[in-house]
Structure 1
Amino acid sequence: MTTRNVENIDINLPNLIYALWKKLKEQRKMQIIFLFCFVLASAFSEVFSLGSVLPFLYVLINPIGLWNLTFFRNIFIFLGINNPNYLLLPMTVIFCLCIVFAAFFRLVTIWLNCRLSAAIGSDLSCEVFTRTIFQPYKYHLERNSSELIAAINIHIPQSIYSINLFFKLISNAIIASSIIIALLIINLKIALSLIIVFGFAYLLISIFIKNKLAANSLFAVNATQNQLSIIQESLGGIRDLIIDQNFNYYIKKFIKYDKPLRIRDLQNEFLGSFPKYALEALGMILIAVLGFLIKSLSPSTVNAIPLLGTIALGAQRLLPSLQQVFTSWSAIKAKQENLKKILDILDRQNYNKNFNLGYSEISFNKELRLSSISFKHLNQKKSIFENIHLTINKGECLGIIGTTGSGKSTFIDIVMGLLIGSQGYLKIDGLNLYSGKDSSRKIRAWMSKIAHVPQSIFLSDSTIAENIAFGIELNNIDYRKLKNAIEAAQLNDFIESLPNKYNTFVGERGVKLSGGQRQRIGIARAFYKNPQILILDEATSALDIRTERKIMEKVNCLSKDLTIIIIAHRHSTLKNCDRVIEINGGKIIKEGLPKDVLY
């Protein structure tokens, strides 16, 4: 699918709305069309309710005058009313019914607006989350996680609010137009006067405040994302923060963005609200002036009072609709950067909807081969690897050593398919994972054969069982495999000492566990997966020698077809490997038996 990056779209509301329209499902587009059809019905009900005011007031003041109008007299005779003295009750009923129907259509329109906005918001939220987590690993390395958190928790809700306001804007614009048409029919000169005064006032205000609203919108988006980063940093490092007593540093950073953000939010709220009170006062003054002129210029007010009452009611209906149009426009303008952020995420490249589909033809029966692999991160001139060649046979246990920062973990990321070499290729039994349109599917199929245990284990705030069977629904956990994995990772004694055994919650990021316990859960997770390739990246660094030895014995006793790659600083961890390589300066500088490389 060809996409157009929102960064290149002129940031005005019509372009943003059109860009959003293209992202909507066909079902949502049909629902929007239905909504606007209902809005038209609501507009007609407003016209009828306003049109019923004039004859109702005539009946109250001068029923004979209304009866003398041929149009109304024919209608009354058709309804079986032959005397003007009997008009009061039917006209009262008709007037009340028109008001009730108008109110009903308005309420249903508001409900449909909210319901449809929420549905579109849910679509956008799920799509943003899906597109983001399906991005390549390199994308996530180059961006802050606060961007996604801000998108889901801040930009999406604000965008839903903007969508709801847009529907309100269109609805009220249609209703206001219908009221204006009704007023023009009732009295052309007076209606034109009201339109010119109110229309010019709102237009003038809009021109003066639109740039301020846009500037506030941009500031709010950046400030909220910076606040999220500060919260993540301070809570993520709360242990060091408490020890070092650096509270004021983060508090000052938070206040730096928070106070101006609240001030600008208040500015936007004031700018959207203040015309209401000014123009309501102006409207009342115009009605008073109109009443004075009618009384001064007309000897009789019997016919003038119904007209004045109808115009007053029309203005009372018109002003809230015009104010809602203005308020919606100003609020959307103040939130437009949120919508722009969401559209920008939805337009990102490298998104593959088929990434989660398997690739049935891939197999690993012979070897994994890296040929002429080079790699460097974005915006970095120096390559981490240059022209790497390595073959790993199925069933082999390969050890990797190297100084800190030599690129061992990056090398593993390339082997797993998380990072793609800028040059060269990765082949599995002769199948090039980098070639073809289905490259991402082949890489995903390759990843499904791998279990990776890093030095820092990610644990969710759930039970030990759920963390070992990571990503599997609680009801679908295989407890036989779970117990075998727990035993192999030397977790038996620890879990048996817990009141809730493997149903014990570990806390956020495993905060209730020691570093060694977290590592053993990570190792148990790898055993549970029953992989074809097991990668241990400093996976036993937090364990004591005795526990590490027992785990490595379990690893060495696994199937001879299991391919194992171990990164470790302890030479004792690698002594039973079939082969050891040493990486330094982006190259493999040593390769051979453990006794030849380690000692």
Structure 2
Amino acid sequence: MITKAKIKAIIACVPEKYQKKLLPFFGFSFGNVILDLLSVAYLLPFLMLALDSHSRFENRYLQFLVQKEHLIYSILLLIVFFIAKNTLSILFINYQNRLIFAVSSEISKKYTHSFIHNNYLFYQNQDKGDIIKNTIEVPNNFANNVLLSLNTILCESIIIMVISGIGLLLFPKITLIAIVLFLLAFAIIYTFRKVKNVRKSLSSDYRNNVNYLLDLINGFFEIKSASKEEAFLDKFNSSNRKLNKTHAFLTTLKNSNSKYLEIIIILIISFLVFYLVNYSAENSKNVLLISFMASVFFKLIPSLNKLIVAGSSLKSYDYTIESILKNTSIEKETVQSETRIGFENELRIENVSFSYTEENKLIDNVSLKIAKGNIIGISGRSGTGKTTLLHIILKLINPKSGKIVLDGTEITPLNKNAFLSLIGYVTQEPYIFNGSILENIAIGQTEAEIDFDRINALTVAIGFEEVLQNFPDGLHSLTGNSGQKLSGGQKQKLAIIRALYNDPQILILDEATNQLDEENEIKILNYIKGVSQKEKLTVLLVSHDKKVLTYCDTIHQFQKEILHEV
């Protein structure tokens, strides 16, 4: 059932920049409706003439059209009208489809924008299957199966109401019986169709399917090494079968509508023949009735079929409305502006506390002063809050209390991006993007913008030139999915080069050399120490390795939620 509230919710899901375009979108659809109705009316006298060559019309214009001496011109005019009508319809359809896919693209864009600009806790709480579903499947299904279905329901309903009205005016008894038969058939069809369960199934099955596929891709080595291929394949195949079974059910609904309508048509034709043979004596009126019914079946049946399909689609994909509205509300919380910020003296962590749950505090009232050009070491047992503190400094997580201050300026959402532009960060397990080695270093830059001298100097300093020699295309070599063509140590080297490429003023290393051999680790740490001394690079270094921590000016250790200087 299409309610006013439902229509408002659907329109609210459409991005603002496209909401104004909905008026011409629906307007073109109504234009199509008018052309379709005119085509039925225009076709009617020619059908009557075909059934009875002696047919006469009270309207002098219609009579003029079907006169023998004018017939050839009338037929040509009919052909021209239908060509023009369908050409305009194609243009309307082209505009509508371009708008539909633009709406889908914009919804995806807005969701990914809100996702990437949110904090790390938001990311941690997201299901990867949901992220992919909300980026690809939800926008596409909303645009194609909700917005387009709403348009179809509104337009085809007008056609059906107008044709039914004309029928009731000309042939009230027969039309009324036909309407009753159609309504009865629809009631039976919708009673036995279990569309309600499809909505939940589509949403959950797609998410599960994506998650199982990601497990197969990302867990390739673990699955192979444990000889558990079949176990993971069974999970994916079972989920995939369930999803495809749901799609098969929906496709069956769409394709079977014409069969149900065919049964209804046979019932109506049978009744019509019975009525004409037994109760009607006016031949001219019979010709009009048969011509009208032929015109009706020519247009009404496709309209009814579209209406049923649109109703089923709208009901099945109703979950996309809730998803988009929910994601839109998330985006409103993450709007940021930009101000400039500089680093001349010191970075301070002031009275920072954080906990993932109310019961267990992870960081308690931590304060730390980091002078520009210093190398600060942070150590502690696993799970004591070292990486979480880095995430708070990077504003990936907001502390429960406390603040981050740079040269007397508190880091807030207004200057966060400017602050992050000063930082190079290497995680424990650096992510390597799909693409070339060069694209992984100079992220987002065109080849004309890339500083190749800087890259060449860094590859030599970090010891990455030996890695490049093993790739025939050098910097242009592809890294493979998630950097699968590189070893763990090579990934860390590449990530360090990436972090240093933009000349950061603060370098954060979170166990960033733990997969390197001792010789390479010493080479990299010596280089970073030298840059720190010469260029006043500030380094925040997290490590369990006491040898690595010897490169630090001061060392701080986490013990029972408190950070102590060693």
TM value normalised by structure 2: 0.92
More deviation, 154-163/405-414: 154-163
More deviation, 141-150/456-465: 141-150
Match of 2:14 in 1: 24
Tell whether 2:309 aligns with 1:327: yes
Aligned-partner Cα distance in 1 for 2:359–2:72:
87
Match of 1:6 in 2: none
More deviation, 326-335/103-112: 103-112
Tell whether 2:48 aligns with 1:73: no
Is this contact kept in 1: 2:114–2:331, CA < 8 A? no
In structure 2, what residue type is equivalent to 1:411?
A: L
Tell whether 2:224 aligns with 1:232: no
Aligned-partner Cα distance in 1 for 2:128–2:538:
33
CA deviation profile, 1:247-282 (whole Å, cap 9, x unmatched): 222123223323333333323333344343122222
Structure 2 residues without counterparts, runs of 5 or longer = none
Aligned-partner Cα distance in 1 for 2:130–2:2:
23
What pairs with 1:531-546 in structure 2 (closer than 5 Å)? 531-546=504-519
What pairs with 1:469-548 in structure 2 (closer than 5 Å)? 469-548=442-521
Tell whether 2:294 aligns with 1:290: no
- How has the CA–CA distance of structure 1 residues 178 and 476 changed in structure 2, closer, same or farther, with 3 Å as cutoff? farther
Is this contact kept in 2: 1:464–1:505, CA < 8 A? yes
In structure 1, what residue type is equivalent to 2:347?
A: L
Query: Match of 1:580, SS?
Result: strand
Please report how far the alpha carbon of residue 417 of structure 1 lies from its aligned counterpart in structure 2 after TM superposition.
Answer: 1.8
In structure 2, what residue type is equivalent to 1:578?
A: D
Please report how far the alpha carbon of residue 185 of structure 1 lies from its aligned counterpart in structure 2 after TM superposition.
Answer: 4.2
- How has the CA–CA distance of structure 1 residues 243 and 96 changed in structure 2, closer, same or farther, with 3 Å as cutoff? same
CA deviation profile, 1:78-116 (whole Å, cap 9, x unmatched): x8x9xx553533443444445445444544443333222
Is this contact kept in 2: 1:407–1:586, CA < 8 A? yes
Is this contact kept in 2: 1:488–1:524, CA < 8 A? no
What pairs with 1:509-588 in structure 2 (closer than 5 Å)? 509-558=482-531, 559-588=534-563
- How has the CA–CA distance of structure 1 residues 464 and 458 changed in structure 2, closer, same or farther, with 3 Å as cutoff? same
Please report how far the alpha carbon of residue 585 of structure 1 lies from its aligned counterpart in structure 2 after TM superposition.
Answer: 2.0
Aligned-partner Cα distance in 2 for 1:157–1:552:
49
Please report how far the alpha carbon of residue 528 of structure 1 lies from its aligned counterpart in structure 2 after TM superposition.
Answer: 0.7
Match of 1:175 in 2: 159
- Which of 308, 327, 341 pairs up with 2:323? 341
- How has the CA–CA distance of structure 1 residues 14 and 206 changed in structure 2, closer, same or farther, with 3 Å as cutoff? farther
Is this contact kept in 1: 2:111–2:331, CA < 8 A? no
Aligned-partner Cα distance in 1 for 2:451–2:323:
42
Please report how far the alpha carbon of residue 159 of structure 1 lies from its aligned counterpart in structure 2 after TM superposition.
Answer: 2.1
Tell whether 2:119 aligns with 1:141: no
Tell whether 2:420 aligns with 1:447: yes
In structure 1, what residue type is equivalent to 2:60?
A: R
Match of 1:5 in 2: none
CA deviation profile, 1:166-215 (whole Å, cap 9, x unmatched): 32333322333333334344433333332232134324533553xx3132
Please report how far the alpha carbon of residue 61 of structure 1 lies from its aligned counterpart in structure 2 after TM superposition.
Answer: 5.5
Match of 2:406 in 1: 428
- How has the CA–CA distance of structure 1 residues 580 and 349 changed in structure 2, closer, same or farther, with 3 Å as cutoff? same
Is this contact kept in 2: 1:53–1:310, CA < 8 A? no
More deviation, 388-397/346-355: 346-355
- How has the CA–CA distance of structure 1 residues 303 and 560 changed in structure 2, closer, same or farther, with 3 Å as cutoff? closer
Aligned-partner Cα distance in 2 for 1:55–1:75:
7
More deviation, 144-153/515-524: 144-153
CA deviation profile, 1:197-253 (whole Å, cap 9, x unmatched): 2134324533553xx313212112111111211111222111121111012221232
Query: Match of 2:359, SS?
Result: coil
- Which of 184, 190, 193 pairs up with 1:206? 190
Match of 2:246 in 1: 264
CA deviation profile, 1:553-578 (whole Å, cap 9, x unmatched): 11111135221111122212222321
Identity %: 23
Is this contact kept in 2: 1:176–1:321, CA < 8 A? yes
CA deviation profile, 1:471-509 (whole Å, cap 9, x unmatched): 333332111211122122121233244322222222122
Aligned-partner Cα distance in 1 for 2:171–2:63:
24
- How has the CA–CA distance of structure 1 residues 29 and 443 changed in structure 2, closer, same or farther, with 3 Å as cutoff? closer
Aligned-partner Cα distance in 2 for 1:134–1:236:
24
Please report how far the alpha carbon of residue 342 of structure 1 lies from its aligned counterpart in structure 2 after TM superposition.
Answer: 3.0
Aligned-partner Cα distance in 2 for 1:502–1:328:
52
- How has the CA–CA distance of structure 1 residues 192 and 406 changed in structure 2, closer, same or farther, with 3 Å as cutoff? same
Is this contact kept in 2: 1:400–1:580, CA < 8 A? yes
Query: Match of 2:448, SS?
Result: helix
In structure 2, what residue type is equivalent to 1:189?
A: K
Query: Match of 1:557, SS?
Result: helix
In structure 2, what residue type is equivalent to 1:240?
A: E
Aligned-partner Cα distance in 2 for 1:445–1:253:
45
- Which of 361, 364, 371 pairs up with 1:393? 371
Is this contact kept in 2: 1:121–1:160, CA < 8 A? yes
CA deviation profile, 1:420-443 (whole Å, cap 9, x unmatched): 11112221122222xxxxx21322
Aligned-partner Cα distance in 2 for 1:412–1:12:
51
Please report how far the alpha carbon of residue 380 of structure 1 lies from its aligned counterpart in structure 2 after TM superposition.
Answer: 5.4
What pairs with 1:6-21 in structure 2 (closer than 5 Å)? 15-21=5-11
Please report how far the alpha carbon of residue 76 of structure 1 lies from its aligned counterpart in structure 2 after TM superposition.
Answer: 5.5
Match of 1:7 in 2: none
In structure 2, what residue type is equivalent to 1:498?
A: F
Match of 1:4 in 2: none
In structure 2, what residue type is equivalent to 1:374?
A: S
Tell whether 2:382 aligns with 1:404: yes
TM value normalised by structure 1: 0.87
- How has the CA–CA distance of structure 1 residues 108 and 182 changed in structure 2, closer, same or farther, with 3 Å as cutoff? farther
Runs of 4+ in 1 over 6 A off after TM superposition: none
Please report how far the alpha carbon of residue 330 of structure 1 lies from its aligned counterpart in structure 2 after TM superposition.
Answer: 0.2
Aligned-partner Cα distance in 2 for 1:342–1:92:
51
- How has the CA–CA distance of structure 1 residues 281 and 222 changed in structure 2, closer, same or farther, with 3 Å as cutoff? same
What pairs with 1:86-125 in structure 2 (closer than 5 Å)? 86-125=69-108
Is this contact kept in 2: 1:13–1:336, CA < 8 A? no
Structure 1 residues without counterparts, runs of 5 or longer = 1-10, 434-438, 592-596
More deviation, 153-162/548-557: 153-162
What pairs with 1:242-257 in structure 2 (closer than 5 Å)? 242-257=224-239
